[in-house]
Amino acid sequence: MREYGMNWGQGLYRSRNGVILGVCTGIAEYFDFSIFWVRTIAVIFLLLTGLWPIAGVYFIAALMMKPEPVIPFETEDEEEFYDNYVHMRRGAIQRLKRRYETLDHRIQRMENIVTSREFDWEQRLNA
């Protein structure tokens, strides 16, 4: 667990020790509040607003907050590397999408060649 009061230099992260996705714990650690009071406020909002509004806000916060690093940062370079790693997922998805689109295009070209009337199966099989 982190020491309180040390988080202002770092970003707001979801805690890895939280109960449900670590949002309340991350907020409590960032603002140096007691986790008991943050969870109490969350439950009060849940009771006053109903399940869906606060649950929606909670899960949106969980999606937007980066997970807490396993090892605390010692330098700004380490923090920058972690931020790049966390955001790399979007780029990886885009690279995979481009790669599969290229593969699909290549397969379509091969399929067009093999199914064309000019393709000579006898010559290809006997070669």
Interatomic CA distance for residues 34 and 29, integer angstroms = 8
Q: Token pair 């923090």 is at which residue? A: 79
The pLDDT tens digits of the residues spanning 17-32 come to: 888 899 999 999 899 9
The pLDDT tens digits of the residues spanning 59-111 come to: 999 888 888 877 777 888 887 777 777 777 677 778 788 889 999 999 999 88
- For the chain, the domains span 1-72, 74-127
